[in-house]
Amino acid sequence: MYLLIDIVDIVFDVMYWLIIIRVILSWVRHDPYNPIFRFIYEVTEIVMGPVRRLVPIRGMGIDFSPIIAILLLQLINSIVVDILQRIIY
């Protein structure tokens, strides 16, 4: 069961890093048709799409959805890990 908790942590860590990479990609020119970049956008859109609909881009064009998405992922991660730890004990 500890392996499952480790896997959950790894999945959430990967998602955090993919969101950070997506933010960095938004600052530089890149080929949007590159399979790696498409993968990053498609995977992170699962989380960032709903957040972006709830928190639209504000006046100056600043997108706060990555920050909110990471905070939500951290919250969900801690809840899931807590539930799994309670199941173990």
Q: Which pLDDT belongs to residue 41?
A: 94
As a whole number of angstroms, the distance between CA 88 and CA 74 comes to 21
State the SS3 of 60-84. CCCCCHHHHHHHHHHHHHHHHHHHH
> How would you write the pLDDT of the chain (89 residues) with one tens digit per residue?
789 999 999 999 999 999 999 999 989 998 889 999 999 999 999 999 999 888 877 667 788 899 999 999 999 999 999 999 999 87
The length of the chain is 89
Domain ranges within the chain, ordered by starting residue:
2-88
Q: Which pLDDT belongs to residue 72?
A: 96
